[in-house]
C-alpha cells in the first residue's frame, strides 16, 4: 500500500478562502424581537439590498427551519433552546463558508441569545434588536396570534403570557414603528456594511 493515499490535503477552502471568493466577510446578523415587530420584513429587505450590492446572504427563519432541520422539535422550554442551538450551529456552518446569515427569530430570553452568541462567537454575532413597542405589534397582529393569545388560545405567547427580555447591549437597536422602512433598512445597512466589507489588505 502506498503511503500517499492518506496524505492530508490542505483544507485550502477554509473560511478565509471562501470569503476571498465571495469578497465579503461571513457574519451572523441575528434579528430578535416580538412577533409582529417586523423581523421578517426587515430580513427580506436587508437581503434584497445586500444582494444589490453583490453580497451573498442566506435568511434563516421559522419558515425554512421549523419545516426542516427542526421539524421534530416542540415548544417545550428544552426544545426551544435546542431550536436556537441548531439554528446557531447551522448559521456557523454557513458563516464558515463565508456567507452572511440573516437570522430572524423571536429568541426572547438572554439565555437563548447567549447560547447563539457562544456558538457563533462574539466577534461574528451581530445582535439586532427590533424594538417595536408591544402595542404596535399587537395592533398589527399580521397572523392574528396576539388575538388568540389574549383569548388564551395560545399559551406562553411572548409579550402576553411569556416575557421578552430586552437585549442589554445589542450591536444595533431599531424601533420599527416608523413606516418608512427604507430609512430603517438604510440605517441598518450603514451599521452592518463595515462588518461584512471585504478588505483584501488584511490578507497580505
Task: State yes or no: is 107 an active-site residue.
Answer: yes
Q: Residue 178 and residue 54: Cα distance in Å, rounded?
A: 27
Q: Which are the contacts of 24, defined by CB distance < 8 A and separation ≥ 6?
A: 55, 56, 98, 100, 196, 197, 198
Mark 109-138 with x for binding to a second copy (rule: CB under 8 A) and - for no binding: ----------x----------------x--
Write down the least CB distance from residue 166 to a second copy, Å.
22
Angle between helices 77-95 and 110-120 (to 10 degrees): 30
Closest CA to 73 of 63, 86, 60: 86
Q: Which of 66, 75, 118, 181 binds a second copy (CB under 8 A)?
A: 181
Neighbours of 121 (CB within 10 A): 11
Quick one: 25 or 92, whose CB is closer to a second copy?
A: 92
The verdict on 187 binding a second copy (CB under 8 A) reads no
List the x/- string, 54-93, binding to a second copy by CB under 8 A.
--xxxxx---x---xx--x---------x---x--xx-xx
Report if residue 198 touches a second copy, rule: CB under 8 A.
no
Rounded distance, CA 73 to CA 59, Å? 20
User: Does 4 help bind a second copy (rule: CB under 8 A)?
Assistant: yes
Identify which of residues 111 and 165 has a Cβ nearer to a second copy in the complex: 111
Catalytic residue among 67, 107, 161, 162: 107
- The residue within the footprint of a second copy, chosen from 31, 95, 99, 115 (CB under 8 A), is 99
Distance, CA of 56 to CA of 99 (rounded, Å): 6
CB 34 within 8 A of CB 159: yes
Q: Does residue 140 interact with a second copy by CB under 8 A? A: yes
| Residues carrying an active site annotation | 107
Amino acid at each position: 500500500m502506498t503511503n500517499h493515499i492518506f496524505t492530508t490535503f490542505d483544507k485550502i477552502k477554509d473560511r478565509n478562502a471562501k470569503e476571498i471568493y465571495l469578497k465579503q466577510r461571513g457574519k451572523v446578523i441575528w434579528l430578535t424581537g416580538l412577533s409582529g415587530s417586523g423581523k421578517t420584513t426587515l430580513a427580506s429587505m436587508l437581503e434584497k439590498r445586500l444582494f444589490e450590492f453583490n453580497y451573498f446572504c442566506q435568511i434563516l427563519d421559522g419558515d425554512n427551519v421549523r419545516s426542516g432541520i427542526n421539524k421534530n422539535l416542540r415548544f417545550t422550554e428544552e426544545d426551544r433552546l435546542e431550536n436556537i442551538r441548531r439554528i446557531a450551529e447551522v448559521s456557523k456552518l454557513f458563516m464558515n463558508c463565508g456567507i452572511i446569515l440573516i437570522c430572524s427569530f423571536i429568541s426572547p430570553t438572554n439565555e437563548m441569545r447567549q447560547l447563539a452568541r457562544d456558538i457563533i462567537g462574539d466577534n461574528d454575532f451581530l445582535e439586532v434588536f427590533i424594538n417595536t413597542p408591544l402595542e404596535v405589534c399587537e395592533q398589527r397582529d399580521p397572523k392574528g396570534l396576539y388575538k388568540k393569545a389574549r383569548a388564551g388560545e395560545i399559551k406562553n405567547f411572548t409579550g402576553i403570557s411569556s416575557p421578552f427580555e430586552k437585549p442589554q447591549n445589542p450591536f444595533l437597536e431599531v424601533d420599527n414603528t416608523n413606516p418608512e422602512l427604507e430609512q430603517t433598512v438604510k440605517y441598518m445597512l450603514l451599521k452592518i456594511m463595515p462588518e461584512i466589507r471585504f478588505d483584501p489588505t488584511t490578507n497580505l
